[in-house]
Amino acid sequence: MHVTGTVPPPAPAPQETPAAPAGPTTTGDPDRHARRFGLPVATALVMGNIIGGGIFLLPASVAPYGTISLLAFGVLTVGAIALALVFGRLAERDPRTGGPYVYAREAFGDFAGFLAAWAYWITTWVSNAALAVAAVGYLDVLVPVTDHRWTACLAALVLQWLPALANFAGTRYVGAVQLVSTVLKFVPLLLVAVGGLFFFDPDNLGPFHAGGGSAIGAVSASAAILLFSYLGVESAAVSAGEVENPRRTVGRATVIGTAGAALVYLLGTLSVFGTVAHDRLVDSTAPFSDAVNAMFGGAWGGWAVALAALVSMTGCLNGWTLLSAQTPYAAAKDGLFPAVFARRRRGVPTAGVGVTVVLASLLTVYNYVSGPAKVFEVLILVTTFTATVPYLLATAAQLFHLVSGHHERVDRARLVRDAVIASIAAGFSLWLVAGAGYAAVYQGVLFLFAGVLVHAVMAAHKKRRQAPADGR
């Protein structure tokens, strides 16, 4: 097993029929429900996964720091776009399904690839549970469900399983749901982000630096709140095997999707700051609702924003459910994950989707049984940390290819620019680790160490299978 150095470049996976199921289907046309993602759907996947439900609470979350928090948005956006560019460059080199896992394994060997796959898998199913529980809060505005614990739990489970069923139906339906949900949620978001500029009142902004301490400390503190909102930039790279012309499309979709999400974040927060008085915004539990009410009067904003948030989270769950199965699928094909994750039907790794949604459902039930919200909040921060593991490994792989100087791997004309971008992406990833906090890093390391034990077992099985071929 190679921990450092390179492994021989893998043979390109067949690109003509990547969505074909691994086994027989019940239909005469096995590809009827599998369809490649074009640029619009790939971009929607990136934007939909980055913009979940957090956008609807972000303005109130960072309001206590003042408008200086907008600087944190700017810094984070630069880092996120740098990471998006790195994923685009890596996808040009190796456009296979798996994203960071594929890049880490090719550059550093099986162990690094496994860590990337393991950490990313944890990120996806814990995030799915978090999104479903948060979505119940918005659902309660439309249909009261939180009065009874088990009613709320059932609602959260339904919100998880509906996207899973769309995934079981095939990539054709996954793409359709993702595109429709992204369009629907952007209507109210753009209404506030763009329309709010026409109702903008500078007197509502409040102080530039509202909190105590240094300005740099305020930027860092508000950035720590915003960090989780940028997870998902890797979405198109992870699903590269299901994307049309991935060498070109993945990079474009990643950059466009990340830039689009950042623009919505920034304009939306700025518009809310300018339409809702600062002293009221600090205590707001529905800042976008308050902004709509301030713009047009009445009290219908709460219903509209709740519906938009529900659509947003459902679409986000749809995309994350697909991603949760793609990385284990790629690792299982290489013998680094259990073989069950390599089962595929209608273009979707159905076994991976099933295992993931079951784990997320168990975690959701545990959340409602345990009661205290702090347990779940720690797990959310853990996902911020675990996501940085594949981010850092992918960025390190890009730096490795640049420094190695292999002519077939490095475009000399882009060397300096790519090195600067990769360095910014590495710094952004490290900032994500710092923003997660000590408790999350501690919990996340325990998850990673558990993965080391799993890797030991899988590596032993892989060696045993290879032994007859080696004559031992």
* Rg of the chain taking only CA atoms, in angstroms: 22
- Single-letter amino acid code for the residue at 197: L
Q: How many residues does the chain have?
A: 472
What sign results for the dihedral spanned by CA atoms 208, 212, 215, 219?
Answer: negative
- Single-letter amino acid code for the residue at 190: L
- Predicted local confidence at residue 175, as pLDDT: 61
Residue 179's closest CA among 332, 7, 31, 315?
315
- Residue 47 to residue 272: CA distance in whole angstroms: 21
Q: How far apart are the first and last CA of the chain?
A: 17
What are phi and psi for residue 424, nearest 5 degrees?
Answer: -65, -40
What sign results for the dihedral spanned by CA atoms 59, 62, 66, 71?
Answer: negative
Per-residue pLDDT tens for 391-431? Answer: 899 999 988 888 886 545 555 666 778 888 888 988 888 87
Confidence tier at 182 by pLDDT (50, 70, 90): low
- Do the Cβ atoms of 315 and 162 come closer than 8 Å? no
- Predicted local confidence at residue 405, as pLDDT: 65
Average pLDDT over residues 108-115: 91
- Predicted local confidence at residue 396, as pLDDT: 92
- Residue 418 to residue 288: CA distance in whole angstroms: 38
Q: Which residue has the tokens 């070109």?
A: 248
- Predicted local confidence at residue 393, as pLDDT: 92
Per-residue pLDDT tens for 336-371? Answer: 888 888 887 766 788 888 888 899 899 888 878 876
Least confident of 168-177, 272-281, 432-441: 168-177
Structure tokens at 303: 């219903």
- Predicted local confidence at residue 176, as pLDDT: 65
The DSSP result for 45-86, as a single string, is HHHHHHSSSGGGTHHHHHGGG-TTHHHHHHHHHHHHHHHHHH
Per-residue pLDDT tens for 5-55? Answer: 333 333 333 333 333 333 333 333 444 444 566 777 777 778 777 776 667
- Residue 381 to residue 449: CA distance in whole angstroms: 17
Structure tokens at 6: 């390179």
> Furthest-apart CA pair in the chain: how many Å?
79
The DSSP result for 221-251, as a single string, is HHHHHHGGGGTTTTHHHHTGGGBSSHHHHHH
Task: Report pTM.
Answer: 0.75
Per-residue pLDDT tens for 391-401? Answer: 899 999 988 88
Task: Output the average pLDDT for the chain.
Answer: 76
Percent of the chain with pLDDT over 70: 79
Confidence tier at 174 by pLDDT (50, 70, 90): low
pLDDT over threshold 50, residue 87 = yes
